[in-house]
Amino acid sequence: MRSTAVCLSFLLIAAPSALKAADIAPVIAPQPAVQDPDRWTFSVSPYFWIAGITGDTAVFGLPEVHTDESFGDILKDIDFGFMMAGDARYGPYSIVADITYARITTDSATPNGVLADTVDLKSETFTAMLGVGYTFYEDEKSRLDVIGGVKLWSVETTISFGGGPLGGISERDDATWVDAMFGLRGMYSITPEVYLTGWGLIGAGGADLDWDVMAGVGYRWSDSLSAFLGYRALGVDYSNDTLTEDIIEHGPIMGVVLHF
C-alpha cells in the first residue's frame, strides 16, 4: 500500500562535541550538541525501513479494500522505495526536511464484503515535510527539541476487482493535501559511543489525523560515522468525496549517519 514501506533515505543531522555519542536516525530525530555554535553543521544518512502496512483504501465509492501486510509481504510487493531527509543546525536552531516515495503493487488485499473474489491494489505515495526545531533542554548527555512544520502528501491508488459482481472493474484516483505537524525529538547518550534517539509528531489539516513516531539505538564509530537501529510507525487518516486513505505503517529501520 502506500507510503514509506521499504525506503532509502538521506538525512542531515548535526555533529556533537560534548555529546560525542549522540546522533540521530531519520530526519526528525534529534542531533547531539554542536561543536561550534557559531556555524552551521550537517549530516547525511542513508537508511532502510521495512514497514508492514495495515489499513483501508477506497476510490470512487467502490467498496473499501482492507490490507494487512507483514514486513515480508512488503519486501515482495514493493516496486520502488526512496526517502531523502535532512537536518541542518545552528546553535539551538535547526531545519528539518523529509522526502519519501514508494510504489507498491499487491494482490493480497481483500474486499470488505462479498462483491468480489479478489482485488489487486497499486499505490504510489509521495510525502515531503519541512520544519524548524528549537532545543529547549540540553545537558552533557541529553537534548530535547520541539519541532513544527508542514507535511505534503500526494497519493495515487488503483483498485482492480476480480470475480463476483465487481469482477473486471478497475478505478484509479489521486489526491494531494497538506498537514501541519508538531512534536518533540530527543536523544540520550548512554556511553561515549552508544546513544538512544527518537521522536514523536502529530498533526492534521487535509487529513483528519497524521502521526509519526520512532525509537532507536545508535553507535558512534567516529566523529564522521555512526550507525543506528530502531522501530518506526506512522499513520494517516484522509478522505474526500472519492478517495479514502486510512493506513498505519510500522517496522524496523536501520542505517548509517555521515557527519560533515
- Given CA atoms 129, 203, 93, 217 in this order, what sign does their dihedral have? negative
CA–CA dist 238, 32 (Å, integer): 35
pLDDT (tens digit, 9 = 90+) per residue, 45-66? Answer: 777 777 777 887 776 566 667 7
pLDDT-derived band at 154 (thresholds 50, 70, 90) equals very high
Radius of gyration in angstroms for the set of CA atoms belonging to the chain, rounded to a whole number: 20
Q: Which domains does the chain have, with CATH numbers?
A: 6-259 (2.40.128.90)
* Residue among 32, 16, 10 at smallest CA distance from 197: 32
Give the pLDDT of residue 72.
62
Left, alpha or beta for 205 (phi > 0: left; psi -120 to 50: alpha)? left
Neighbour-count burial for 191-215, b at 16+ CB within 10 Å, e otherwise: eeeebbbbbbbebeebbeebbbbbb
> Which range (13-27, 72-86, 146-160) has the least confidence?
13-27
Mean pLDDT of 220-233: 89
Give the pLDDT of residue 6.
37
Give the pLDDT of residue 52.
74
Whether residue 145 has pLDDT greater than 90: yes
pLDDT (tens digit, 9 = 90+) per residue, 188-199? Answer: 999 999 999 999
Whether residue 237 has pLDDT greater than 90: yes
Give the pLDDT of residue 55.
80
What DSSP element (H or E) covers 217?
strand 209-222
Residue 61: CB atoms within 10 Å: 9
CA–CA dist 234, 3 (Å, integer): 10
* Residue among 137, 45, 143, 39 at smallest CA distance from 87: 45
Higher-confidence residue of 131 and 160: namely: 131
Contact (CB, 8 A) for 216 and 13: no
Give the pLDDT of residue 77.
60
CA–CA dist 186, 94 (Å, integer): 13
Give the pLDDT of residue 143.
93
Contact (CB, 8 A) for 21 and 252: no
Mean pLDDT of 178-187: 95
Q: What are phi and psi of 102, to 5 degrees?
A: -145, 140
Say what percent of the chain tops pLDDT 90.
33
